[in-house]
Every structure is written in structure tokens, then in C-alpha cells.
Amino acid sequence: MSQSLIIVGAGLAGWTTAREFRKLNTTTPVLLVTADSGDFYAKPSLSNAFAQGRLPAQLVSTPATKMAETLSVTLLAQTRVEAIDTAAQTMRVRSPAGLQTLSYRDLVLATGAQPIRVPVQGDAADAVMSINSLDDFAAFHARLQAGAESPGAPLREVLIMGAGLIGCEFANDLAQAGVRVRVVDPGPRPLAALLPPEASAALQAALEALGVHFHFGCTVRAVDHAAGRLQVTLATGESVPADAVLSAIGLRADTALAQAAGLLVDRAIVVNTFLQTSAAHVYALGDCAQYASAPSLLSAHGSTLPYVMPIMSAARALAATLAGTPTALAFALMPVSVKTPALPLVVATAQAGLAGRWAGAGEGIWHWLDDADQPRGFVLAGAQTSQRMAQAKLLAT
């Protein structure tokens, strides 16, 4: 049996696991398999690049070849995993060179998540875009640039499906870059799942001041081609023009490979506190993982945590385990910064499924109070985001 560590996925979870492992073990062969180029970039930068005027190539912080050389990793880029045999500890991959079978000592799945797509009608339904990778961003960037510099060209217009975290971040970024933005969402307000109504109202007002136009209680019915642009028909019957339609409805853990291999899957790949899946020598982390270390009242298998800081914590714990020191993952409170400069926000969510209510705790501060009136989460807006450490300590006590 091979003594190699194989990591599937070259996002933050995959590369960080490799980096943390190399700090502890410099001799074990490490292979990193990815369906893309493997270039390293900060995925959160995708939703604030337009306002900064950054081109897709400028978002790459370290080329894949440099990452592989620095970490003594064998990189298999443009390579897809077709099947995993957990009993034999092998995996079949397809690269430009053809099919190949690899053996592993330990296998790490960092396959991420895929955009949720809802069906829409119209002859341009396939033109609806999502941004979940640097390649996606490059395609979207090219769409907006097409014809934008020609004399007399109209201001670019983008319709965003979804007023959640990603939708609001892109709305803010594009509007700051001079793009006309519409946001369509079936809910009643922006970031409805994360914010109290008052904070949502403040965010909506801040984005509207940038020119963002919201359509709440509404969905997209159809997208059609129209004179070189797109015509979007809403469920209300209203028809609006757009140069691009961006779906930001949310992400779903990429579990197809794990399911085919017989691993336990709930909302994502189920892992224990040591990040091991239901199969020996197979681990998972990042957007594809459902952590026992993040308890939930909604599932006995824990929660997903699709944010940067949980990924970093998980990678450090997993690297120690893979290097021979079994290390249980314990998540500290990790508030999330929402990248909406029009109204900066910091959110610390309560345990999933916890009963309670939002209550104001001062200008720009809200607490999620449980049934005993104890704070279990918070939202900070505007200048109050500087209070994140003090509020985190309040929850810790």
C-alpha cells in the first residue's frame, strides 16, 4: 500500500492542509489532485474585485507550480477523480494523459461546494452565470467587459438572483464599480437568514444609496436573448434588461464523489471530531464537510461552516492528525465579516436551530437571545464592527 497522502481539491482547504502538514512532516509524499489549474487565490476576493479594478489574473496570489514547489507537493492539475475504492485505498483519476489508478495511505476530500441552480425558462436560460471559482469570475468579467468600452455603450446592467451573503456582496461590489444592479429574491429583505429586520433594513438602505434596486417577494421566470443583451422576465410579469444574470442563490456541498464511494453523507460529507469520514483513512474538510465539532439542533451530524476561519482551524487540526498526533477539532467562536462596505457587518451566528429572538443591545448592535435571555449570537453594523472582540467575549461568558 502506498504511503502517500492524497488531497483532492486545490481551494483554501486543500492547499492549507498541505501547508500545515508540511510544517509537521517533510518526508511523506503528498499528491494534490485538482480539476482546475491549482493556482492559489483567496476566494472571498471574488466578490470585491470589481470595485478595486482587479483583473482575474491579478487575483492569483501564488501560481500552482510555485505552491507545489514550495510545499514539495506533486500536483496533478486538470485531473478529475472518477472513483474511490475505500477498501483498497485507491482512486481512479482521469487527466489529459488518460486514466490512472493512485494508491493512498490517507485521503483528504476538499471538494468544496457547487452553486445551487434553479430552473428558469427562456432561450437564454443557459446564460445565467454563477461565480464559485476564479474561472467563473473570469467568464463573468469578460461578459461585462464585452462592448463596455465602445463609444456610446450603455452602462452595464447586472441582475442578481439572491439577496443572501454572496448576492449582497456582489451587489455592493458591482454598484461601487459603476454597474447598475438589480437584486431579485423571494424573501422579504436582504440577508434575511442572518440579520434582524432592523439590520436588514439598514443594509438595504445603504445598498439602495449606491443605486441597487431590489425586487423582494419575487423570482426570475425567464431569461431571453434580446438585441445582443438579455431580457429578464420576473414572476410578477415585469420585464427588465440586463447584460448579465448572476445566480447567487447559495451553495450545496459537492458530495457526489463521496456518495459514490459509500461514505456517510447528510447535508455534506459527515466527519467526526477528527475530521474522519465513515471510511478509515478518508477525511474531509471545508465546504464539502459537515462537522461533528459544530453541533446543531437540526442534525445529529453537526453543521457545515462555509467560511475561511473554520477552514483554517480544521486544516491545522487535520494536519496534526495526519502527521501522527490525533487532534480533535474544537471550533472557537469565529464571527464572520460581510464584505458590504456600504454598511460593514459582523455576524456571529447562534447554534443552528437554537430557539430565540433578536433584541437590540445598542446602536448598531443586536443579540440573539435564547429562551433564558442569554446572548448566543450577535450582529454588529457600521462603526460597531470594531466591537467584535468585546462581543465575542460576552458570548463566551
Q: Looking at the predicted structure, is the pLDDT value of residue 118 above 70?
A: yes
Q: How far, CA to CA in Å, does 52 sit from each of 45, 80, 177, 306, 335?
A: 10, 33, 8, 24, 25
What mean pLDDT is predicted for residues 321-350?
95
Distance, in Å, from the CA atom of 87 to the CA atom of 243, rounded to the nearest integer, reads 50
Distance, in Å, from the CA atom of 40 to the CA atom of 21, rounded to the nearest integer, reads 17
Distance, in Å, from the CA atom of 371 to the CA atom of 194, rounded to the nearest integer, reads 19
Distance, in Å, from the CA atom of 356 to the CA atom of 378, rounded to the nearest integer, reads 12
Classified as helix, coil or strand, 134 is: helix
Distance, in Å, from the CA atom of 221 to the CA atom of 363, rounded to the nearest integer, reads 39
Express each pLDDT in 184-222 by its tens digit. 999 999 999 999 999 999 999 999 999 999 999 999 999
What is the pLDDT at residue 153?
53
Distance, in Å, from the CA atom of 111 to the CA atom of 4, rounded to the nearest integer, reads 19
Q: Using alpha carbons only, what angle is made at residue 249 by residues 246 and 253, rounded to the nearest 5 degrees?
A: 115
Q: Select from 247, 282, 300 the last residue of a domain.
A: 247
CB burial of residue 332 (10 Å; 0-12, 13-18, 19+): exposed
Classified as helix, coil or strand, 93 is: strand
Same domain, 213 and 297: no
Residue 63: band (very low, low, confident or very high) from pLDDT cuts 50, 70, 90 = very high
Helix axes 197-209 and 165-176, enclosed angle (nearest 10): 20
Q: Looking at the predicted structure, is the pLDDT value of residue 147 above 70?
A: no
- Quote the percentage of the chain above a pLDDT of 70: 97
Which alpha helices (H) appear in 119-164, and where do they start and end? 134-145
327 inside domain: no
Distance, in Å, from the CA atom of 282 to the CA atom of 80, rounded to the nearest integer, reads 18
| Mean pLDDT (the chain, rounded) | 95
C-alpha cell at 29: 509524499
Q: Looking at the predicted structure, is the pLDDT value of residue 138 above 80?
A: yes
Q: Looking at the predicted structure, is the pLDDT value of residue 21 above 80?
A: yes
What mean pLDDT is predicted for residues 137-155?
74
Residue 151: band (very low, low, confident or very high) from pLDDT cuts 50, 70, 90 = very low
Q: Select from 224, 247, 270 the last residue of a domain.
A: 247
Are the beta carbons of 230 and 128 closer than 8 angstroms? no
Same domain, 132 and 222: yes
Same domain, 136 and 202: yes
What mean pLDDT is predicted for residues 160-183?
97
Same domain, 109 and 256: yes
Are the beta carbons of 221 and 192 closer than 8 angstroms? no
Distance, in Å, from the CA atom of 362 to the CA atom of 172, rounded to the nearest integer, reads 26
Express each pLDDT in 273-307 by its tens digit. 999 999 999 999 999 999 999 999 899 999 999 89
Distance, in Å, from the CA atom of 10 to the CA atom of 41, rounded to the nearest integer, reads 10
Domain of residue 87: give its range: 5-114+252-322
What is the pLDDT at residue 352?
86
Distance, in Å, from the CA atom of 215 to the CA atom of 114, rounded to the nearest integer, reads 25
Give the CATH number, domain containing residue 194: 3.50.50.60
Would the pTM of this model clear 0.85, i.e. be above it?
Answer: yes
Give the CATH number, domain containing residue 375: 3.30.390.120
Same domain, 140 and 223: yes
Q: Which helix (H) or strand (E) holds 345?
A: strand 345-348
* Of 64-68, 71-75, 393-397, the least confident: 393-397
Number of domains in the chain: 3
Same domain, 225 and 308: no
Q: Looking at the predicted structure, is the pLDDT value of residue 148 above 90?
A: no
Same domain, 134 and 149: yes
C-alpha cell at 48: 470585491
Q: Which helix (H) or strand (E) holds 169?
A: helix 165-176
Same domain, 261 and 298: yes
Distance, in Å, from the CA atom of 144 to the CA atom of 285, rounded to the nearest integer, reads 34
Beta bridge partners of residue 62, listed in sequence order: 40
What mean pLDDT is predicted for residues 81-86?
98
Same domain, 109 and 123: no
DSSP string computed for 250-313:
-EEE--HHHHHTT--BSSSEEE-TT-B-SSTTEEE-GGGEEETTS-BSS-TT-B---SHHHHHH
